[in-house]
Amino acid sequence: MCEPCSDVCVNDSKKLWKNGIIPYEFDYKVSEDLIRYVKSAMKEIAKIGSIKFVKRTNQLDYIKIVNGGAYWSYVGKQGGEQELSVTEGWPHPIGSSIHELLHACGMYHEHSRPDRDKYLIVQNGNDNYKKHNSSNVTCFGNYDFESIMHYPLHSRMNLKPGIKKKFEIGQRVKLSKGDIKAINMLYPCLSTESEDNCFKRENRRQYASKTKSRLIQRRKYYRVRVMMRKRNKNKKKKNDFE
């Protein structure tokens, strides 16, 4: 069953990029500024998970980044060449590029989640506002108004009465905690690992983290004991002297 989600993702493994490796190339019409923005967006995504964007050599499945007069992308791997569009004169070009790249990775709009009607009043008009069926998507976490995959509120989409707006909805400044969680749930393994090895590695990582935490707590405990001993010893010396 699909739980309330912080991000809505494809549930068809064929639409995911193998080992999280996404080949790309730029169309010759894309400006140097746009190339710089897109590469910055790629770095932001790559540094928080296992997704790797690599320059295309001879890969058959890849993203071709074009200047199509707007920002748009297909959702997930399509097979063969698939276009992703960026353009000049758009606010937050890096954040907007992150938004489209996450579409290509396999993430839908936050406001398309199956139970979005609990939070929003949406007038359907096109696919950008389409609500997905829970059987067609995979979901993670709680509803995330801060998601970079959420559209801003406007006349066609607004909060339901009783839902308080606590922060900017539709921001394109940074990945939210929910976005980061979804990316790592969607692409959890390193590119050279099998799913089994990835599971073992994750268990080792969690064990190491717990062990480190225990060691830190133990050091704090012994440090306090040593300080108390010294304090008691000093008190004893002082009392003996008096």
Question: If you average pLDDT over residues 138-149, what whole number do you get?
Answer: 88
Contact at 8 Å (CB) between 60 and 21? no
Measured CA to CA, the distance from residue 41 to residue 64 in angstroms comes to: 15
Among candidate residues 66, 76, 75, the one with its CA nearest the CA of residue 28: 66
The single residue of 81, 100, 195, 242 carrying the catalytic annotation is 100
**pLDDT tens-place string over residues 13-68:** 899 999 999 999 999 999 999 999 999 999 999 999 999 999 999 999 999 999 99
- pLDDT in the model for residue 212: 47
Cβ distance 16 to 61 under 8 Å?
Answer: no
Helices and strands of the chain, counted as H and E runs: 4, 9
Tell me how crowded residue 73 is: count the other CB atoms within 10 A of its CB: 21
pLDDT tens-place string over residues 214-234: 555 555 555 655 566 666 666
Least confidently predicted of 51-55, 78-82, 124-128: 124-128
Alpha carbons 185 and 37: distance in angstroms, whole number: 26
Q: In this structure, what is the dihedral angle of CA atoms 187, 191, 195, 199, given to the nearest 10 degrees?
A: -80
Is 168 a catalytic site residue? no
What is the reported pLDDT for 164? Answer: 87
Read off the pLDDT of each residue in 101-128 and give the average, rounded to a whole number.
91
**What residues have CB less than 8 Å from 150, skipping those under 6 apart?**
109, 110, 111, 144, 169, 170, 171
Report the pLDDT value the prediction gives residue 167, as an integer from 0 to 100.
82
Mean pLDDT within 3-19:
75
Helix (H, G, I), strand (E, B) or coil at 79: coil
Q: What is the mean pLDDT of residues 76-81?
A: 97
Query: Tokens in use for 231?
Result: 């304090």
Helix/strand/coil for 67: strand
Q: Which residue has the tokens 């790592």?
A: 184
Asked if residues 84 and 63 have their Cβ atoms less than 8 Å apart, the reply is yes
Binding site listing: 99, 103, 109
Is the Cβ–Cβ distance between 114 and 137 less than 8 Å? yes
pLDDT at residue 142 in the model? 84
Mean pLDDT of the chain: 82
- pTM for the full predicted model: 0.76
Mark the binding-site residues for Zn(2+), compressed into ranges.
Answer: 99, 103, 109
126/143: higher pLDDT:
143
Q: What DSSP string runs through 130-181?
A: PPPPTTTEEEESS--TT-TTPPPPBTTEEEPTT----S-TT--SS--HHHHH
pLDDT of residue 177 exceeding 90? yes
Q: Give dist(CA 145, CA 165) in Å, integer.
A: 9
For the cut 50, the answer to whether the pLDDT of residue 193 exceeds it is no
181 close to 131: Cβ distance less than 8 angstroms: no
Report yes or no: 148 and 179 within 8 Å, Cβ to Cβ: yes
